[in-house]
Chains A and B, each alone.
Chain A
Amino acid sequence: MLEISQLKASVDGKQILRGIDLSVKAGEVHAIMGPNGSGKSTLSQVLAGRESYTVDGGTVTWQGQDLLQMPIEERARSGIFLAFQYPVEIPGVSNAYFLKAAVNGVRRHRGLPELDAMDFLAKVKGEMKAVGMKEEFLYRSVNEGFSGGEKKRNEVLQMSLLEPKLAILDETDSGLDIDALRIVADGINRLRSPERAMIVITHYQRLLEYIVPDFVHVLAEGRIVRSGGRELALDLEERGYGWIERAPAKGAAPAAESAR
């Protein structure tokens, strides 16, 4: 589904990704962990197409297409969803309007009929209940004045409405208390399916107690330095990132190979 090969990227002339290899198949959940500054967020932004990052080398193949050549909105419509670490506020634009525009944009692309106001409201209200959001959030401006937890729930709501093929969750756990974390994780788990892949980016092992990954990769200094199963995350929790950084293993382990 997604093949990343020797991906290198920089921002403002500073090299951040130094050759990432990663293969993601439908139905898989990959966790990407790593210390601050290792390139986790850069990877997610580059995959989503943010223009302030420069790709310096490597390839990304997405459903047989060259992802790096696709414009931002085409990537989104073809099923790539990025849950933002810091969701953006858009004053004056109601959440309902924003969500409907997004959903219908994606539906048009998939050859599905657009939802009218009634159908859309019925659908969105159902999904909001599932992520524990009150209906009033539909009529408030996008993310404006939302608390950290409300913003993250809003991201999960968008994800469930847009039904992506690949969801990239960028530090979705950051800034959440334990109750909010559980609700957000439940929302994400509901969306796990054999057709849908997920890349879960996180600094802490904590989130992975709720969203159990199939694979764990450790990113350090712009490279994947170790890959393994769920237990790799537990090791990290116990021994810290210093353990990996002090004893870097083989450069880039293909996802399927376990580190143990």
Chain B
Amino acid sequence: METSLKRAPDKAETRHKPSRPCTREDFDRVRRVLGRKVLFTQGDIAISYGALLAGCRFFAGYPITPATETAEIMSRLLPRVGGTCIQMEDEIASMGAIIGASWTGARSMTATSGPGFSLMQENIGYAAMTETPCVVVDVQRSGPSTGQPTEGAQGDIMQAKWGSHGDYELIALSPSTVQECLDLTIKAFNLADTYRVPVILLTDGIIGHMREKITLPEFEEVTITPRKQPSTSKEAYLPFADDGTQIPEMSTFGTGFRTYITGLTHTENGYPSTDNQPNHDRLIRRLCDKIRNNRDKIVEVERDYEDASRGETIGIVSYGATSRSVDYAVKALRQSGIKIDHLRIITNWPFPENEVVELAERVGRIVVPELNLGQACHSVREAVAGRCEITPLWKIGGEMHTPQEIMDAVRGNSD
């Protein structure tokens, strides 16, 4: 007897498929939804666009100024490209949701600001321990606590690295233009999948709310690095085995590869092993070394150096919004005959130690402007290790450094 019943589509097939981040078809669909190629838009929105173009199909978040626009755009556009957006009850849950989504094979992201970023720390540690690729956007505002909601700051630089307890490494990137918000979001997803770590996109309320011209990339211009899939049989698969690269192959829930995940110290099969010193040592060193040993591949900086002798050159190390004030100041200073080497940090973590050392050997003094009361300058000082002088230039309260303030610090006019 014939039956008219059709087999329901296999849900596992129709939902987030493993390693599918942005095929050409997906990409073209996103581009159609985004509309014009050249746009005048905000950093927060460019982050959402970058995420969609990178194949992010799951977003969970809780609204907070100045990061809300990212969530708004994801809630509007993700359903139109086959993705899922959930407003969770808070940031703790948001972080939990993106970790879970990541294990279903989706590229997943959340976006928040200081107070929410604080709440996310526990689960960021969980993501680091379980080696779950995900992207966390922190649009920094003035803190501590609820601070100045509508004002930008760079006060979470240290928290991004040290916010959760225990030893772990992750990656943090600082865009300084709206275009870079888009570009670095795509890069963040690639780094997360390549190294199986949470990647923090560390922007701020200034860049997040600033509008600038951006150009959407074409499919050929975008590199997508999918996560490494299991190469063994289902029976032989060990979810946390080092295959020699220190980065384990990652299965996807629902595909038949038995995977047990825990925040407890675990062995290669994922099961807890909490009273064995060598096991713990091996696991945590691998988690740190997979980033530390690849520092040179991960770190990105921009050098604007002059060809001058050491005695007459002054260095500046900057990142994020602050680099915009520095760029202006550098032009003006050079016009007045002052030699400047400007190192712009794009990868805040792992910290570009070698690059700072290289600068310290070129200059007599390094100025470090930051929108906080001294964070990256600690890492700069550690790298410089007495090779040259350091002039920190701190500013808080919501306004960027004016170019004049940078120029004064370079000339030695400020206290």
Task: Judge: A and B partners, yes or no.
Answer: no
Residues of A within 8 A of B (CB): none
Residues of B within 8 A of A (CB): none
